[in-house]
Amino acid sequence: MTEKPTWALVTGASGGLGESFAALLAVDGWNLVLAARSKERLEAVAERIEKTSKVQVEVLALDLSELGAGKRLHDECAKRNIEIELLVNNAGSGLFGESVELPVDRVEAMLCLNVIALTELSSLFGRDMKARGKGRILNVASLAGLGSMPYFASYGATKSYVLSYSLALRAELKPYGVGVSCVLPGYIRTGFDGNAGIESRKYRAFSDRNAMDAEAVARRGLAALARGRGYAIAGASNKLSAFGMALIPASRLPFLMKPFLDRLVADKRA
């Protein structure tokens, strides 16, 4: 993706999709800043990457769900004299359940991570890229952001924001030589379901049957960024789902999806 080794920052890089982004970028010769909460897991990822490549890897452990964490991350890169030319905003979390029953503090943390941190990082590093006249930003949204989804109401809304924000930012920064893209995956084989609080075995089985490998999603996102695409939906079946969702009136879609989701989680409610 680049003629000479430069620095890329990957958030949520302690495993799953974030680790896949980091590994693929390392193959292309990017030096890496890896950010996530767990220093131990980040160091393990860094060690695996350094064993198979000659790139430099820096680890920054912080919780991006805390207000102001994005600025602290930006400041730390500046302190280390690292110019980020590729930002991958991968860090994110989900919550599954009836909206009025979810713990408010967990919803707030998710909103801070999925929306505020992503916006803060895109703004701060995007400003640097604009000043230099080059750079790229890849934001990770979700297929859930294309329609209102019961039990994923807040999560889906954050991912809708990510797509909308990314497309607008792309138009603003393109004249300055900065590219912005967004990748929309569906189910991925990561620990998302457990972290989101999904306990239904039936739902998890459905998720696993329809899940993509994290590396395949990361490849699709990086390819979209390299080609200057505004956004890309990862996976043929997800593209088909997106097409079908677009044909249904926005006000009707959640009422059509709810009975289907109710059947998936019926084993947990029994």
Cα–Cα dist 113/18, whole Å: 15
Look up tokens 């958030």; give the residue.
Answer: 11
How far apart, in whole angstroms, are the C-alpha atoms of residue 198 and residue 189? 14
Is 155 tagged catalytic? yes
Q: Which of 155, 165, 203, 231 is catalytic?
A: 155
Q: How many CB atoms lie within 10 A of CB 209?
A: 8
Instruction: Please answer whether residues 116 and 70 qualify as being in contact, where contact means their C-beta atoms are separated by less than 8 angstroms.
Output: yes
CA atoms of 3 and 209, how far apart (whole Å): 39
Q: Which of 80, 104, 200 is nearest to 154 (CA)?
A: 104
CB 145 within 8 A of CB 159: yes
Beta-bridged to residue 183, according to DSSP, are 140, 232
Q: What are the catalytic residues?
A: 155
